[in-house]
Structure 1
Amino acid sequence: MELRQKLCRKGYSETVVEQVIAELASQGLQSDGRFAEVFTHSRVEKGYGAYRIRQELRQHGIDVNQALENDRDWDELIRKTYVKKYGETVPGSIEERAARERFLRRRGFDAEQIRRLFKCLRQPESK
């Protein structure tokens, strides 16, 4: 869809654009599924959660369900994202916790994932 929009904005007729995209797809040179897979992987590597990735894929006109079907450990990803920014530290105040929660929400993690993360941070691991 994004390719279609870009070509139409450049002034190509919709008929020509449709023919070119169909030809590229038949040759395996254009695939929304492949784009979604690569895009999702890239955003996960940068520490973004499922909600944010879904929004961005929708903006690109991609079927969101197909892109996020791979099993991912979102709890591990939120932990890595948190530790990269704040270390293993537990927030010292309610305001600090709220700021950290807002950061994680902007990254696309949901409230349940954030709750589990903070619960895990409070419990020291026994070795």
Structure 2
Amino acid sequence: MAETSLRERALRHLARREHSRAELVRKLAPHGSAEEIDDVLDRITELGLLSDHRFAEAWVRGKATRFGTARLRRELALRGVERDTIDAALEAEGVEDDVDRARAIWRGKFGTTPADAREWARQARFLQGRGFGTDVIRKILKENPDESA
């Protein structure tokens, strides 16, 4: 009976959106033992209903237009996705050029070059929070002569 309940819970979660195996383990933990959860998730994986690779690709596809590569990697790692799977998902989605994505995000939020050092720092913090590196941020904001930040 517990297995059916766990399986139903897992399938309900997967019906809403893709989940990583680690996410499902965490969500099912209050409802069964670790062994029961592993058995259920192994069976669901065998049936092709649970896939960390598919989850990572869906996650990257949904978030790539808003975040940099560093943040995408960090978020996937926090969700229990293996490093190789993360690399494959980023490669499959063609997430290579942070500069173009950062420029598009920056243009949508600000659109004008920073007028002073304070504004430059504000725009840089925004892009950094989105997961872009300092080299990318400097390229985007380089029109401002004050790059001391």
CA distance in 1, matches of 2:45, 2:52: 9
1:40 to 46, 55, 60: 60
CA shift for structure 1 position 15: 1.4
Aligned match of 2:87: 65
1:83 and 2:111 matched? no
Aligned match of 1:6: 27
CA distance in 1, matches of 2:89, 2:77: 11
Aligned match of 1:118: 141
The 4+ residue runs of structure 1 with deviation greater than 6 A are: none
Where 1:58 maps in the other structure, the secondary structure is helix
Aligned match of 1:125: none
Mean Cα displacement is larger for which, 95-104 or 65-74?
65-74
CA shift for structure 1 position 55: 1.6
Q: Which residue identity is paired with 2:130?
A: R
The CA deviation string for residues 9-44 of structure 1, in whole angstroms up to 9 with x for no partner, is 2x2111111111111111110001111111111111
The CA deviation string for residues 63-105 of structure 1, in whole angstroms up to 9 with x for no partner, is 2333323432221100110000011x11100111011000000
Where 1:62 maps in the other structure, the secondary structure is coil
Q: CA RMSD in A?
A: 1.5
CA shift for structure 1 position 50: 1.2
- The runs of 5 or more residues in structure 2 that have no matched partner are 1-21, 145-149
Where 2:137 maps in the other structure, the secondary structure is helix
Aligned match of 1:50: 69
Spell out the pairing of 1:98-109 with structure 2 (5 A cutoff): 98-109=121-132
CA shift for structure 1 position 51: 1.4
Where 1:68 maps in the other structure, the secondary structure is helix
Aligned match of 1:97: 120
Percent identity over paired residues: 34
- The runs of 5 or more residues in structure 1 that have no matched partner are 123-127
Aligned match of 2:50: 30
The CA deviation string for residues 43-67 of structure 1, in whole angstroms up to 9 with x for no partner, is 113x111111122112111123333
